[in-house]
Amino acid sequence: MRNAKIVCTLGPASFDRETIRDLADAGMSVARMNASHGNVEHRSEVIDSIRAVDDATNEPLAAMLDLQGPEVR
């Protein structure tokens, strides 16, 4: 296991399983998603893809969901 962690933010162009696998092969250790975009069903599908890639690779791959914090207006 490597010491440094590489966090990649996934977007519409990188939600498919093949791209997630390519990113993991290139060194990604955490797949980050922004919860402000998309819906619950779509995020669930992406997390399923991340888990499938994690199962298929030797290095651990984590999923991170970035939630909006409190705002001062």
Q: Would you say residue 21 has pLDDT above 70?
A: yes
Categorise residue 42: left if φ over 0, alpha if ψ from -120 to 50, beta otherwise.
Answer: alpha
- C-alpha 59/C-alpha 70 separation (Å) is 34
pLDDT tens profile 33-69: 998 878 899 999 999 999 999 999 999 999 999 988 7
Q: Which amino acid is at 27?
A: G
Q: 19-23, 54-58, 69-73 — which is least confidently predicted?
A: 69-73
User: What confidence score (pLDDT) does residue 64 get?
Assistant: 96
Cβ 23 vs Cβ 31: under 8 Å: yes
Q: Which DSSP state fits 35?
A: T
pTM of the model: 0.85
